[in-house]
Structure 1
Amino acid sequence: MQKWIMSGLFFVACTLALVLMFTLPGKEEVAEEAKPTMPEVTLDKAAAEATVKASCISCHGDQLQGGAGPALNQVGGHLDKDALFNVITKGRKGMPAFKDQLKPEEIANVALYLSEKK
């Protein structure tokens, strides 16, 4: 009886291992999720300013001088457009992620806009 139970448990464990092996994401998929890719957009300064006013000034100040969040009025000197896109999309430290509130094109436009602030 014990042999049947042990054989059954071994079979279940092997089956579970096979299922997990084929359903869990690979390293490439995880790496791609970890670093979002910025879509190609042309800077629309008016739209970017509108998005910044709607989403950013409550923490970063109306002139991007800082407040609850850091100053962004010279952030382009520290971060490039891809890094800014990544931070806005995924969030960082106390900053929330905006991937669910803004479209990737809107985030890319804001990243381009902020990257010019040096």
Structure 2
Amino acid sequence: MKKWIMSGLFFFACTFALVLMFTVPGRDHEAAEEAGPVMPQVTLDAASAEEKAKASCITCHGNQLEGGVGPSLQTVGAELNAEQIYKTITKGKGGGKMPAFEGKLSEEEIANLALWLAEKK
């Protein structure tokens, strides 16, 4: 009798595990999270980007983006493309290195700023 009960419990546990593996979202969600935000298509407006940089970036990166608390951004476009810069501005960098601007600036403002910074080579 105990063998039948243990066999039944084992079968139930295996079935439950299989059901969870195929129905609980996880891997797809994690992969999308790792990929990060997708940069919207915008046309570069240099004047607006420079204004946003002065309002949001100079505190850490300096008046001429020469660096300070944060690194120099004067040649950031030689190291990172616009999409990479967009992700960094949107999500920030861990450990308090750079704050996230998601929710503080619109996606379009961040994309415009990223395009502007990507041209700095």
For the aligned residue pairs, the C-alpha RMSD in angstroms reads 2.4
Per the alignment, residue 80 of structure 1 pairs with 81
CA shift, 1:99, in A, is: 1.0
TM-score, with length taken from structure 1: 0.78
Say if 2:27 is the partner of 1:30.
no
Q: Deviations over 1:77-102 (max 9, x none)?
A: 11111110111111114101111211
- SS of residue matched to 1:96: coil
CA shift, 1:18, in A, is: 5.7
1:1-118 matches, within 5 Å, as: 22-27=23-28, 29-35=29-35, 36-93=37-94, 94-118=97-121
Distance 2:79 2:109 in 1: 21
- SS of residue matched to 1:105: helix
Distance 2:58 2:21 in 1: 45
- SS of residue matched to 1:66: coil
Aligned residues: 117
Distance 1:50 1:20 in 2: 49
Q: Deviations over 1:52-72 (max 9, x none)?
A: 111100000010000000000
Structure 2 unaligned blocks of 5 or more: 1-7
CA shift, 1:21, in A, is: 6.2
Structure 1 unaligned blocks of 5 or more: 1-6
Residue identity matched to 2:71 = P
Per the alignment, residue 3 of structure 1 pairs with none
CA shift, 1:24, in A, is: 3.7
